[in-house]
């Protein structure tokens, strides 16, 4: 696989980042301590480079009808300015990716897939567009994405927004996006700002052309001085999203899995009038009771000891294999090990005590409701 570098690679190097491959991209894993970065996002703010994420624009008179067909959600029901979390599934119901779709106009949507899936999603959308009057344009290579996440995110962002546009930011709802003037590098540029994130905190994701990304990154860091803002890497992004109970494609979600086992049944609109890719298979899975009365279900696990469960560790009940951990680590915020795991539905009830095989030693974990962490509003 070729290595991709974001437009902010030099900024990360300068900040002392250690890098990791993620979805074919060289991304900052951490700058100093992933624990310090995690706590900064929970208590102050963190600055993330998410430029590895994809950006696929869908435009044209049939854009809404097309996305109703291509994705599991009812995108035609999304108001202009709002966003929706959805899935793109195979005909057999397997999950190709989870994605956020922003409606920018009646006939214009921005679809944001995960880094490692961006090309696959763009290709699948292009294929599914055959009978629709739409244009599918993969702008991933030209677009950077910078996120400011944490309780101080709004105050930091406002420092770069002209006063007469502050209300656009302060009144922006969760899962909504708006074009806002942002002042950096000597001028004010209109950029798409979304109130979304993957950390369980309030925060913003800002779409910016690659050329402008370094100057915006520097301006945000400067605006965050005195507000506890630190650059934050993928290591803490993973621990933050795990605490917030958010699935990661490749860990909790895959082609072999399905939305019902993953607890994402509500994201599948079987009720929408139009046909969509995967509808028949997904309807059959739901009718069969997958993730409810048969098969496995994604659950939260809370460790009772200090040792953490990790991805792929076996989950046991009375010594018998009943599941597998998908993600796990010590929770920096909560102070005990947390994990997500697929377990047989009969053991998925919160309060059930199971064992995780920690490298040969069983350690007891309790099934708990997700998320592990919910911020105080």
Partner 1 sequence: MSKVVSELKYSAEHEWVAVDGSGPAGIGISAVAADALGDIVYVDLPEVGSTVTAGETCGEVESTKSVSDLYAPVTGEVVEINDGVVSDPALINSDPYGAGWLFKVAVTEEGPLLSAEEYAAANGGEL
Binding site for partner 1 (CB under 8 A): 30, 33-35, 38, 235, 238-239, 306-308, 310, 329-330, 332, 359
- Shortest distance (Å) from residue 306 CB to partner 1: 5
**What is the rounded distance in angstroms from the CA atom of residue 195 to the CA atom of residue 180?**
12
Residue 352 to residue 367: CA distance in whole angstroms:
5
Between 34 and 97, name the residue whose CB sits nearer to partner 1. Answer: 34
DSSP state of 309: P
**CB 71 within 8 Å of CB 88:** yes
Name the minimum Å distance from CB 317 to partner 1.
Answer: 23
Nearer to partner 1 by Cβ, of 209 and 311: the residue is 311
What residues form DSSP beta bridges with 348? none
Query: Are the beta carbons of 153 and 45 closer than 8 angstroms?
Result: yes
Phi/psi of residue 7, each to 5°? -65, -10
Pull the structure tokens for residue 167: 């209300």
Contact 134, 59 (CB under 8 A): yes
Q: Is there a contact between 340 and 328 (Cβ–Cβ < 8 Å)?
A: yes
The CB-of-302 to partner 1 minimum distance in angstroms stands at 16
Rounded to whole angstroms, the Cα distance separating 277 from 5 reads: 33
Shortest Å, Cβ 165 to partner 1: 39
CA torsion through residues 114, 372, 328, 29, sign: positive
Q: Min. distance of Cβ 256 from partner 1 in angstroms?
A: 25
Q: Which residue lies nearer to partner 1 by CB, 209 or 330?
A: 330
Terminal-residue alpha carbon distance, the chain = 43
Q: Which is nearer to partner 1, 359 or 377 (CB)?
A: 359
The minimum distance between CB 21 and partner 1, in angstroms, equals 14
């Amino acid at each position: 696989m070729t290595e991709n570098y974001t437009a902010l690679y030099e900024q990360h190097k300068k900040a002392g980042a250690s890098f990791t491959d993620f979805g074919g991209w060289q991304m900052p894993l951490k700058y100093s301590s992933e624990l310090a970065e995690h706590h900064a996002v929970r208590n102050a703010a963190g600055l993330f480079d998410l430029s590895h994420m994809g950006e696929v624009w869908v435009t044209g008179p049939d854009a809404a009808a097309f996305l109703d067909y291509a994705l599991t959600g009812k995108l035609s029901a999304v108001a202009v300015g709002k966003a929706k979390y959805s899935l793109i599934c195979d005909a057999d119901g397997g999950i190709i990716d989870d994605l956020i779709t922003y409606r920018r106009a009646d006939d214009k949507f921005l679809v944001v897939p995960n880094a490692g899936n961006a090309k696959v999603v763009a290709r699948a959308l292009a294929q599914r567009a055959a009978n629709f009057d739409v244009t599918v344009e993969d702008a991933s290579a030209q677009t950077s994405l910078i996120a400011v996440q944490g309780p101080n995110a709004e105050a930091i962002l406002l420092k770069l927004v002209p006063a007469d546009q502050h209300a656009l930011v302060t009144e922006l709802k969760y899962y909504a996006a708006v074009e806002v003037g942002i002042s950096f590098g000597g001028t004010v540029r209109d950029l798409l700002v979304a109130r979304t994130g993957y950390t369980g905190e309030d925060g913003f994701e800002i779409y910016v052309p690659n050329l402008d990304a370094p100057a915006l990154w520097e301006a945000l860091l400067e605006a965050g001085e005195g507000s506890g803002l630190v650059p934050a890497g993928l290591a803490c992004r993973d621990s933050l999203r795990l605490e917030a109970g958010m699935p990661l494609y490749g860990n909790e979600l895959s082609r072999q899995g399905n939305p019902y086992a993953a607890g994402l049944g509500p994201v599948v609109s079987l009720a929408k009038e139009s046909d969509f890719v995967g509808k028949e298979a997904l309807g059959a899975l739901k009718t069969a009771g997958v993730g409810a009365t048969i098969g496995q279900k994604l659950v939260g696990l809370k460790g009772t000891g200090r040792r953490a469960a990790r991805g792929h560790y076996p989950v046991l009940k009375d010594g018998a294999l009943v599941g597998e951990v998908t993600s796990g680590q010590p929770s920096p915020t909560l102070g005990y090990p947390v994990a997500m795991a697929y377990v047989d539905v009969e053991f998925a009830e919160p309060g059930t005590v199971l064992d995780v095989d920690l490298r040969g030693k069983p350690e007891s974990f309790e099934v708990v409701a997700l998320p592990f962490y919910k911020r105080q509003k």
